[in-house]
Amino acid sequence: MRLWDHLKSGNGYKVRLVLAQLAIPYERVELDIERGETRTPEFLAKNPNGRIPVLEYAPGRFLAESNAIAFYLADGTPLLPDDRLGRAEVLQWMFFEQYSHEPYIATSRHWILTGKAAERRALLDAKREPGYAALGVMERRLRDRAFFVGERYSIADVALYAYTHVAHEGGFDLGGFPRVREWLARVAAQPRHVPITAA
């Protein structure tokens, strides 16, 4: 398998983490997002939406969207429940991540890491309330459970870990979210865990 990726991306990291934990060998291709390498005709032929990560799961066959790739890789493994309801609950938290968490916490981090914080100050400030609201939803969910779905580590945890564990790089303080911090430590202690910068 081959992964089109960007090392700083939490979305890319979700796929790297699942590949590592499932001990699937792969070749990684680093793209420079800031230089438009995901908007070339060659890359748009792989993913018309022009975003990493993209997994070439078979020669010339491509799958995009980090959470869809994670679902594909985890299907049939202990990282994804094998019952209909469990799969749907995992998806509930993955869609929560992409709609209610990533656009605030990940985007804030991206702008700060790429030096755009000053020019986008008003937009950045507007992301604080919904970003903290997402963290509050997570804190509430973790009040009486160790993982997001079914008392077992799954790709729902992978999806939410990716940008939550670097939320401070987006200006978010996890001090008021003790359950989230305990859960971050539990996720980092899983077998074959790799950090975000591991290629």
Residues that bind a second copy (CB under 8 A): 48-49, 57, 63-69, 71-72, 75-76, 84-85, 87-89, 91-92, 94-96, 98-100, 102-103, 137, 140-141
Give least dist CB 126 to a second copy, A. Answer: 9
| C-beta closer to a second copy: residue 88 or 113 | 88
| C-beta closer to a second copy: residue 124 or 195 | 124
| C-beta closer to a second copy: residue 76 or 175 | 76
| C-beta closer to a second copy: residue 40 or 193 | 40
Give least dist CB 29 to a second copy, A. Answer: 19
Rounded distance, CA 195 to CA 187, Å?
A: 11
Report the relative pairing of strands 27-30 and 54-58 from DSSP bridges.
Answer: unpaired
Give least dist CB 149 to a second copy, A. Answer: 11
Rounded distance, CA 50 to CA 36, Å?
A: 9
Give least dist CB 140 to a second copy, A. Answer: 5
DSSP secondary structure string for all residues of 111-178: HHHTT-TTTTHHHHHHTHHHHHHHHHHHHHHGGG-SSSSTTS--HHHHHHHHHHTTGGGGT--GGG-H
Q: How far is CA 44 from CA 36, 40, 93, in A?
A: 11, 6, 28
